[in-house]
């Protein structure tokens, strides 16, 4: 099976020869294991020694849980010498969170066996953070893996597009059609590579049932699964809206604290993001509630509508654009803006000291300049973007989502 190159590979490979432990975080089924195999192929082409361990295999889990000596003995048994400092052994450990004490294991290897380079993956930021202690500070470099970006989607579709060039009208029409597919079905690799819609739905439902609900149930020791499932469906229906914990608690017959705990777990397992309101000198007139946004528009629709749609809904498009911004700029750079008078900007992108307000519309003609004008004046800015797939672009502020 062909393994496609992910964009984040170029960032990871910069650290491939450092002494850092490389940690790949991400939701289930977003392609972390394939990324590890792509890295392995890269190292093999460079003539580097490497070894892969999957901790979903209980035999390997038992060996690593037994301690460093058992691990080193296992490597030696497999023909890998760790006594020669000149030859580095690259060890891949998939699903590191299954270890009882991964922090101790990684620290001991990092400190005492520099000839072993560890590259590990984990499906739950929450579980990893709980098990990774302060002793690992300065020893790890972390990478967040999300569903495919649109650029990666095109790669998986074997469609060539050089985004540094100016596209013809024909090329733009093709890209708009492909982007519609990307919005409607999402960016999980298996979904992108599957052609039939009914099969895409089945695979997405498997991700929901087998991974999302299982992960959260196991992590949160959830007993009231029915209420949790209801909360998940409501959140999907509200992607792009403000999170009202009290209202959610009343609707799902859960306590406020339980809803807050579930939201935290869903965020830490990369199912959704809580987008914080941007504030500066207008703190007094801004809402304090975050917006809930799912990372994948296909998954969001399956949870909300129990099936993939034929037409793009506004909240689905906004969800997709959020995912693209996070993949390109990281989740700490994406905010929204809303005043108590309900003046709102869909997203505010903050990169270093630069601010960029972004409005998301299904059609460029639907854009109203009022809120953006107010924001630009208050923050003394000149630039803004409106993104859509339909309608006529009036000026350079109107961009397609792949141009953000």
Report CA-CA distances (Å) from 177 to 169, 182, 312: 12, 9, 12
Q: State how far the Cα of 365 lies from the Cα of 83, in Å rounded to an integer.
A: 67
pLDDT score, position 223:
77
Q: Tell me the pLDDT band of 135, cut-offs 50, 70 and 90.
A: low
**pLDDT above 90 (res 3):** no
For residue 120, list its beta bridge partners.
Answer: 23, 93
403: left (phi over 0), alpha (psi -120 to 50) or beta: alpha
Higher pLDDT, 220 or 286: 220
pLDDT score, position 212:
78
Percentage with pLDDT > 70 across the chain: 94
**pLDDT above 60 (res 176):** yes
* Mean pLDDT of the region 184-202: 97
- Contact assessment for residue 215 and residue 208, using Cβ atoms and an 8 Å cutoff: no
Average pLDDT taken over every residue of the chain = 91
**pLDDT above 70 (res 262):** yes
**pLDDT above 60 (res 282):** no
Q: State how far the Cα of 198 lies from the Cα of 242, in Å rounded to an integer.
A: 32
**pLDDT above 70 (res 124):** no
Q: State how far the Cα of 351 lies from the Cα of 295, in Å rounded to an integer.
A: 20
Strands 354-360 and 385-387: parallel
Q: State how far the Cα of 97 lies from the Cα of 8, in Å rounded to an integer.
A: 21
Helix (H) or strand (E) holding 350: strand 344-351
* Helices of type H across 221-278: 225-237, 245-252, 256-268
DSSP state of 19: S
Nearest alpha-carbon partner for 124 in 209, 60, 217: 217
The pTM of the full predicted model, rounded to 2 decimals, is 0.92
Tens digits of per-residue pLDDT, 297-339? 999 999 999 999 999 999 999 999 999 999 999 999 999 998 8
Q: What token pair was written down for 173?
A: 């029409």
For residue 24, list its beta bridge partners.
Answer: 121, 143
Count of CB atoms situated within 10 Å of the CB of 200: 22
Nearest alpha-carbon partner for 12 in 148, 146, 142: 142
- Contact assessment for residue 16 and residue 38, using Cβ atoms and an 8 Å cutoff: no
Q: Which of 35-39, 42-46, 131-135, 373-377 has the lowest mean pLDDT?
A: 131-135
Sequence ranges of the domains in the chain: 9-145, 151-403
Q: Tell me the pLDDT band of 150, cut-offs 50, 70 and 90.
A: very high
**pLDDT above 60 (res 5):** yes
* Mean pLDDT of the region 185-193: 97
Strands 354-360 and 344-351: antiparallel
pLDDT score, position 269:
85
Tens digits of per-residue pLDDT, 283-293? 554 568 899 99
Q: What token pair was written down for 156?
A: 């998986």
**CATH superfamily, domain at 9-145:** P-loop containing nucleotide triphosphate hydrolases (3.40.50.300)
Q: What token pair was written down for 230?
A: 């209801």
Query: For the chain, what's the residue count?
Result: 404
* Mean pLDDT of the region 341-354: 92
DSSP state of 273: E
Q: What token pair was written down for 2?
A: 């062909």
**pLDDT above 80 (res 217):** no
Tens digits of per-residue pLDDT, 66-83? 999 999 999 999 998 777
- Contact assessment for residue 186 and residue 236, using Cβ atoms and an 8 Å cutoff: no
Strand segments, DSSP code E, in 55-115 are 89-94
Tens digits of per-residue pLDDT, 234-251? 999 999 999 999 999 999
- Contact assessment for residue 18 and residue 138, using Cβ atoms and an 8 Å cutoff: no
**pLDDT above 80 (res 136):** no
Q: Tell me the pLDDT band of 138, cut-offs 50, 70 and 90.
A: confident
Which SS3 state, helix, strand or coil, does residue 169 take? helix
Report CA-CA distances (Å) from 331 to 146, 177, 293: 11, 27, 11
Higher pLDDT, 164 or 185: 185
Q: State how far the Cα of 220 lies from the Cα of 234, in Å rounded to an integer.
A: 19
Q: State how far the Cα of 334 lies from the Cα of 204, in Å rounded to an integer.
A: 26
Q: State how far the Cα of 401 lies from the Cα of 321, in Å rounded to an integer.
A: 7
Q: State how far the Cα of 187 lies from the Cα of 198, in Å rounded to an integer.
A: 16
Nearest alpha-carbon partner for 271 in 146, 148, 360: 146
């Amino acid at each position: 099976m062909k393994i496609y190159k992910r964009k984040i590979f170029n960032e990871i490979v910069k650290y491939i020869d450092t002494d850092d432990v490389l940690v790949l975080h991400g939701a289930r089924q977003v392609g972390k294991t394939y990324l590890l195999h792509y890295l392995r192929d890269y190292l093999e082409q460079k003539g580097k020694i490497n070894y892969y361990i999957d901790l979903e295999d209980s035999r390997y889990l038992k060996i690593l849980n037994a301690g460093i000596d058992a691990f080193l003995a296992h490597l030696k048994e497999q023909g890998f010498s760790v006594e020669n400092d000149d030859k580095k052994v690259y060890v891949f450990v998939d699903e590191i969170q299954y270890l009882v004490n991964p922090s101790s294991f990684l620290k001991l290897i990092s400190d005492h066996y520099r000839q072993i380079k560890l590259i590990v993956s984990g499906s739950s930021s929450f579980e990893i953070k709980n098990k990774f202690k302060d002793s690992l500070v300065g020893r790890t470099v972390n990478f967040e893996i999300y569903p495919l970006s649109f650029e990666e989607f095109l790669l998986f579709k074997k469609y060539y597009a050089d985004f540094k060039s100016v596209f013809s009208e024909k090329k733009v029409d093709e890209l708009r059609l492909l982007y519609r597919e990307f919005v409607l079905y999402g960016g999980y690799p298996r979904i992108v590579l599957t052609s039939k819609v009914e099969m895409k739905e089945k695979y997405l439902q498997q991700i929901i049932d087998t991974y999302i609900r299982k992960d959260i149930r196991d992590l949160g020791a959830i007993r009231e699964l029915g209420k949790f499932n209801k909360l998940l469906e409501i959140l999907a229906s509200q992607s792009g809206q403000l999170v009202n914990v009290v209202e959610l608690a009343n609707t799902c017959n859960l306590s406020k604290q339980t809803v807050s705990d579930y939201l935290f777990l869903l965020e830490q397992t990369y199912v959704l993001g809580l987008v914080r309101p941007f504030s500066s000198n207008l703190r007094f007139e801004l809402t304090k509630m975050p917006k809930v946004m799912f990372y994948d528009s296909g998954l969001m629709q399956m949870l909300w509508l129990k099936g993939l749609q034929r037409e793009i809904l506004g909240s689905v498009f906004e969800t997709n654009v959020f995912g693209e911004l996070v993949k390109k700029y990281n989740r700490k750079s994406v905010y929204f803006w809303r005043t108590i008078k309900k003046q709102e900007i869909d997203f505010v992108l903050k990169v270093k000291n630069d601010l960029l307000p972004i409005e998301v519309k299904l059609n460029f003609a639907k854009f109203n300049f009022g809120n953006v004008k107010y924001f630009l004046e208050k923050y003394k800015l000149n630039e803004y973007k409106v993104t859509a797939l339909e309608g006529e672009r009036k000026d350079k502020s109107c961009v397609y989502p792949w141009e953000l």
